[in-house]
Every structure is written in C-alpha cells, then in structure tokens.
Amino acid sequence: MLETTNLRKTFKKQVAVDDVNLYLEKGEAVGLLGPNGAGKSTTISMMSSLIKPTMGDVTWHGKSIVEDPSVIRLHLGVVPQEIALYKELTAHENLKFFGKIYGLKGKKLENEIAHVLEMVGLTERKNDLVKNYSGGMQRRINIAVALLHEPEVIIMDEPTVGIDPQSRNYILEMVRRLNHEKGMTVLYTSHYMEEVERLCDRIYIMDNGRIIASGTKQELTSILSSEETILIELDRPYPELTLELEKIEEVLRVVETDKGMKLIVPKNSRLLGKVFRVADKHKAQMVSVNVQVPTLEDVFLHLTGRKLRD
C-alpha cells in the first residue's frame, strides 16, 4: 500500500539515497536496517513527504504523495529520529498541541490522548514537564504523538537509540502489540539487528544509499547457509591467539567482539579441535565456545565487509 520506486535524493553532489525500491503491505512489520549515514532517515523523510525526492516516486495505494502529500497525511504516523517535543510543556500539553494539528478537538482529542498515554504507559506522569522525563520516557511520548490520530501506518526512525534497556524493551513490546494486535503496518528503522530480527516480517538492508539485500530473516541468512560462526568468549584479549586463528586455512574471517571473537568458517568444518589446541598453546582461558547459525549482522558483514556498528 506504500511503495517507493527508483527513489533518489542528492544533497549537492552527495547521493544520500540511490534508486531505492521498497514496499509495505497492509499489516506487515518491515525493517530498514543500515549503519550510520546509510540513507535511512532520508528515505523515511521522502516516504512521509517531509522532503521531495530528486528522482523517483512514493505512492500510497497507487497515488503519488510527491504530487499530493495530502493523500497520506491522515493515514501515516512518523516517529522522528530526534525527539520533537516542547520540553517546557507537560506531556499532556504536548499531546494536545500535536492533536490539534491533526484536526482533533474536544472530547475526541481527550479520549485519544488518554488512549495513547495508556499505550505508552505514562498516564500517571502526564502532568509532568517533558524536560523532567528520562530519555526513554521522552521517546515514549514522541511515539504517542505519532499515534494520536490512529494512523494505519507508522514509520519509526531509530526509536530506541540511547535509552535504558527497560524503556527499550517497553517500546519494542509496544510496537509488536501495535502490529500483531491492532494490525498496524510498521516500518521500523534501526541499526540494531536484534530489534529488527525480533519485530519484523521482512527486512531491507541499506548501505551507502542503496538497498543491498531484502527478504525475510530466513531468506537473508540463507545467503550465508554455507557458513557458520564459532563464538568464543575469553577472560581477556589474546592478540597472538587472534593472529594464529586467522592463519588457519579454513577460517574465512575473524571478528573481534566485546568479550572475545567470532570465527566465520565453512559449515561442518569441524574446526573446534584445532581451535582448542591453538587456545591451549597460548594459554588462553576460554569462558565459553558456541557454534551458531548466521545472524543478520553476519549477512551485513558478508555483503559489505563491515560491521553494522563500530
């Protein structure tokens, strides 16, 4: 129902979005995954008619929103990447202000405000100034604003960046409920692959302005069906161990992680014995060793040679 065709945006000489084709079907939760600067926010801005494409089109049920933004306005809620609230006002006053922009008023407006406050779990705090809210609570009100007019589609631009795990979990669970229980169509942008894996039916992976892969999680990870990952947790870093493991012929790549490293190896390569012997030689303390099937993070690494996050 919402679709982009050959969407392109350039800023002076820089190509921010390059020939992007993506679509949302009614009731789907779709992920847009990509690192910083991939072009996610620019794509979303064009999909919500905040900025005009340099080329290409965005259509809502076949009608161009580039030509006529009003065809989508009441059907779409957008949660911007930056918090867009009046910090000197209370949550309730903010919601009232934004509700009026959508043409809501009187009892209907108050009902909607009560409804969205309940949804984001901030009814009790509605009369507090937004500036006294935690980052996570501000994010939740930011989402509440986008839900006020009961849109059919919600587009969320990295709604969980920089907040505590509890708020993050709350938001993820809320998005899941909106999608599963209310049938709301969701476009969820993130550079956290776990979030996208958890919420989304289909995923687009974006890098350097382009969609470099798309499909269900299974379709995407099957790109790597010939590989598996040996995840090694160590008590501390052992640089020489990393170097020696890299030299093992069958090891395709070694990626350092927070607590150790990941070896990307061909499936069924039965390298564990060798890995243990090398670790032993370097007197490395292994806390745990796991063999894993590929994740979206691995797919991204495979396609671009880089990690999603630095």
Binding site for Mg ion (CB under 5 A): 40-41, 81
SS3 at position 308: coil
Q: Which is nearer to Mg ion, 10 or 81 (CB)?
A: 81
Among 30, 38, 58, 148, binds ligand ATP (CB under 6 A): 38
127 binds ligand ATP (CB under 6 A): no
SS3 at position 214: strand
* End-to-end Cα, the chain, rounded Å: 35
In whole angstroms, how close is the CB of 158 to Mg ion at the nearest point? 6
Q: Identify which range of 29-37, 55-63, 68-76, 103-111 contacts ligand ATP by CB under 6 A.
A: 29-37
* Amino acid of residue 120: V
Among 8, 40, 125, 140, binds ligand ATP (CB under 6 A): 40
Question: For residue 219, what are the contacts with CB-CB under 8 A and spacing of at least 6?
Answer: none
Is the separation of the CB atoms in 50 and 39 below 8 Å? no
Q: Which is nearer to ligand ATP, 162 or 239 (CB)?
A: 162
Question: For residue 193, what are the contacts with CB-CB under 8 A and spacing of at least 6?
Answer: 33, 295, 296, 297, 300, 308
Q: Identify which range of 36-44, 104-112, 165-173, 258-266 contacts ligand ATP by CB under 6 A.
A: 36-44
CA distance 137 to 133: 6
41 binds ligand ATP (CB under 6 A): yes
Structure token pair of residue 253: 């790549």
11 binds ligand ATP (CB under 6 A): yes
CA distance 164 to 134: 9
Q: Which is nearer to ligand ATP, 16 or 153 (CB)?
A: 16
Q: Which is nearer to ligand ATP, 58 or 279 (CB)?
A: 58
42 binds ligand ATP (CB under 6 A): yes
- The residue at minimum Cβ distance from Mg ion is 41
205 binds ligand ATP (CB under 6 A): no
- For the beta carbon of residue 266, count every other beta carbon within 10 angstroms: 13
CA atoms within 13 A on the CB side of 135: 11
Q: How many chain residues are in contact with ligand ATP, going by CB under 6 A?
A: 13
Place of tokens 């012929």: 249
Interacting positions 135-194 with ligand ATP (CB under 6 A):
191
Contacting positions for ligand ATP (CB under 6 A)? 11, 14, 16, 34, 36-42, 81, 191
